[in-house]
């Protein structure tokens, strides 16, 4: 059983995803600066897991506080700012810090620091437990949608599904978003095999999704990112499903770079393409995908492959970590509350009421 993250007796323990699947290193820390570094370096990654890690990272920061109650607000502001500066795109991180900031605002005046910290600790644990439950709910709604949309094909055979990046236990702490749907669909006998796109440059699909599928004994093939259009052309893919790092209120979706190309290709080949993400990944405050901050990462991620230089150190590169898929290429957004299959601007808003 993969234990992506846990928090026990004030210690954060996580599986360092940078070295998977070749090395299974669990790291323990009580330092919030180390935890922030783990988020920045993708040792801990995936939108829901980043949110969970952000909550626990703030708790680590509270544990090491030694000042007075009067000095605490300035310390808390700095701590939150440091956590929020770790990665910009996954809105789950900001969902987690907002929850803790709300608690601070509501209770700082009335509670002792000890009682305030206890309330924040409970909130961080709740974020974690909620993300686990969200995965199960998303999986159920996703499977219903697949049964409905692909009913004709399912009368004669099982399905082949394309996915991108890693959206499983490693990315959520629960069964997964898109991969959670795939796992349940497999258990229910709907899936023949999974096609997992490698997800350059850090290979979350090739390294992490493949590793999870192997453990689940679900048949799969890994492909290079650029192969998906050809496989669709050859009729080798029945539908696509991926996760999200931030969904705008009109349904435009930021996810791992490469997602948009799969979605456009699926649209061209008339293949359904779905997003699976908890409501905590929807940023209802923004109108469309142009407002999503897209992380640009160090060019060495492209110029080197796991430490081996493959381009000159001076090769100029563009290294966006995410892209935005316009809502017109998305056949449905599966959330923990329900699956939304169109009219996104109206229907996503309703999830917040």
Ligand X SMILES: CSC[C@@H](O)[C@@H](O)C(=O)COP(=O)(O)O
Of 241, 66, 119, the C-alpha closest to 168 is 241
Q: In angstroms, give the least distance from the CB of 63 to ligand X.
A: 26
Q: Is 243 in the site for ligand X (CB under 6 A)?
A: yes
Q: In angstroms, give the least distance from the CB of 341 to ligand X.
A: 20
Q: Is 54 in the site for ligand X (CB under 6 A)?
A: no
User: Which residue stretch of 44-52, 146-154, 181-189, 262-270 sits at the interface with ligand X (rule: CB under 6 A)?
Assistant: 44-52
Nearer CB in complex with ligand X: 171/206: 171
Q: How far apart are CA 149 and CA 281, in angstroms?
A: 24
Q: Please answer whether residues 32 and 57 qualify as being in contact, where contact means their C-beta atoms are separated by less than 8 angstroms.
A: yes
CA–CA distances in Å: residue 301 to residues 87, 165, 294, 310, 318: 16, 16, 16, 10, 10
Angle at 172 between CA 78 and CA 5, to 5 degrees: 65
- Residues 161-190 binding ligand X (CB under 6 A) are 165, 167, 171-172, 177
Q: Please answer whether residues 333 and 253 qualify as being in contact, where contact means their C-beta atoms are separated by less than 8 angstroms.
A: yes
Please pick, from the candidates 218, 244, 333, 339, the single residue that binds ligand X as defined by CB under 6 A. 244
Q: Is 44 in the site for ligand X (CB under 6 A)?
A: no
Is residue 256 annotated as involved in ligand binding?
yes
Angle at 89 between CA 204 and CA 185, to 5 degrees: 50
Q: Site map for ligand X, 298-337, x if CB under 6 A?
A: -----------------------x----------------
Assess whether 82 carries a catalytic annotation. Answer: no
Q: Site map for ligand X, 67-106, x if CB under 6 A?
A: -----------------------x----------------
Q: In angstroms, give the least distance from the CB of 5 to ligand X.
A: 13
Chain position whose Cβ is nearest to ligand X? 243
Q: Tell me the residue length of the chain.
A: 353
Q: Is 51 in the site for ligand X (CB under 6 A)?
A: no
Q: Using CB under 6 A as the criterion, which residues of the chain lie in contact with ligand X when the complex forms?
A: 42, 45-48, 90, 165, 167, 171-172, 177, 204, 242-245, 255-256, 321
Annotated binding residues for substrate: 45-47, 87, 204, 255-256
């Amino acid at each position: 059983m993969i234990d992506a993250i846990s928090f026990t007796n004030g210690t954060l323990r996580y599986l360092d995803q940078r070295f998977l699947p070749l090395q299974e290193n669990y790291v323990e820390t009580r330092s919030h600066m180390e935890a922030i570094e783990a988020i920045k370096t993708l040792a801990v990654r995936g939108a829901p897991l980043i949110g969970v890690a952000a909550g626990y990272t703030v708790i680590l920061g509270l544990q090491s506080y030694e000042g007075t109650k009067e000095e605490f607000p300035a310390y808390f502001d700095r701590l939150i700012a440091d956590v929020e500066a770790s990665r910009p795109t996954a809105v789950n991180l900001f969902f987690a810090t907002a929850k803790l900031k709300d608690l601070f605002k509501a209770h700082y005046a009335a509670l002792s620091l000890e009682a305030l910290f206890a309330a924040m600790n409970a909130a961080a644990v709740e974020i974690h437990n909620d993300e686990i439950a969200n995965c199960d709910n998303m999986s159920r709604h996703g499977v219903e949608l697949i049964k409905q949309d692909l009913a004709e094909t399912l009368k004669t055979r099982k399905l082949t599904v394309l996915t991108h990046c890693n959206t499983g236990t490693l990315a959520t702490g629960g069964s997964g978003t898109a991969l959670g749907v795939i796992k349940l669909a497999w258990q229910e006998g709907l899936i023949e095999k999974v096609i997992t796109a490698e997800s350059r440059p850090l290979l979350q699909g090739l390294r992490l999704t493949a590793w999870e599928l192997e453990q689940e004994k679900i048949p799969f093939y890994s492909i290079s990112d650029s192969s998906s259009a050809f496989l669709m052309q050859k009729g080798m893919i029945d539908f696509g499903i991926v996760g999200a790092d931030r969904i705008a209120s009109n349904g435009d979706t930021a996810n791992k770079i490469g997602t948009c190309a799969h979605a456009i290709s699926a649209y061209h080949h008339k293949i359904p393409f779905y997003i699976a993400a908890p409501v905590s990944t929807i940023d209802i405050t923004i109108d469309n995908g142009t407002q999503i901050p897209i992380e640009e990462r160090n060019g060495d991620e492209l110029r080197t492959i796991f430490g081996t230089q493959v381009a000159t150190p001076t090769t100029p590169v563009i290294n966006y970590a995410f892209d935005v898929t316009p809502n017109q290429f998305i056949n449905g957004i599966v959330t923990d509350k329900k699956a939304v299959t169109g009219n996104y601007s109206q229907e996503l808003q309703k999830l917040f009421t």
